Amino acid sequence: MGRSYRTRKVADRIKEVVAQACEGKIKDPRLGFLTITDVRVTGDLQHASIFYTVFGDERARAETAAALESARGVLRTTIGREIGLRIVPTIEFFADALPESAAQLESVIAAAHRKDEKLQLMRSAAEFAGEADPYRKPHVKQLPTDEDEQTEQL
| Within-domain flag for 85 | yes
Give the pairing of strands 47-55 and 33-41. antiparallel
pLDDT at position 40 over 80: yes
| Within-domain flag for 65 | yes
Stated pTM of the model? 0.63
CATH of the domain at 12: 3.30.300.20
| Within-domain flag for 69 | yes
| Within-domain flag for 57 | yes
Structural domain of 76: 5-96
| Within-domain flag for 70 | yes
Q: What phi and psi, each to the nearest 5 degrees, are found at residue 93?
A: -105, 140
Measuring CA to CA, which residue among 20, 19, 51, 53 is closest to residue 38? 51
68 contacts 31 by C-beta, under 8 angstroms: yes
| Within-domain flag for 114 | no
Question: Helix 58-70 and helix 72-83: axis angle, to 10°?
Answer: 60
Q: Which residues pair with 53 in a beta bridge?
A: 35
Q: What is the pLDDT of residues 86-135, one digit of tens each?
A: 889 999 999 887 767 777 888 889 888 999 988 888 888 777 777 777 78
Q: What is the pLDDT of residues 69-84, one digit of tens each?
A: 888 999 999 999 988 8
| Within-domain flag for 132 | no
| Within-domain flag for 113 | no
Report how many domains make up the chain.
1
Q: Which residue has the higher pLDDT, 103 or 18?
A: 18
